[in-house]
Structure 1
């Protein structure tokens, strides 16, 4: 998947999220049948889900639902 995953954009858009993090979010959405907005809310509310995905709120925000 990595050769096809977007690299940093020169058009000034948001930087892409790491492929490992996006894949973990995808799996959580699939396993728990979460829509994009519900996945964002769950990641904001659940320490265990953030830990599984690899998000530390002290250093980075939760990924926005439009990024999924």
Structure 2
């Protein structure tokens, strides 16, 4: 049995309008050093084109601000 490998690249996935903004929506807790340290990371990852990493950082900020972590 042989396996065929696809050698063409798929076009990039285009997220629906506004989805990226919703995904990255977060607000740090005022005066919190942890939130302040994490605050720059989502934008840095986004500017590098790494939306997955940006979303992870935004989730950390949301979780920390809501008391989950």
TM-score after normalising by structure 1: 0.27
Rg larger for: 2
TM-score by length of structure 2 reads 0.27
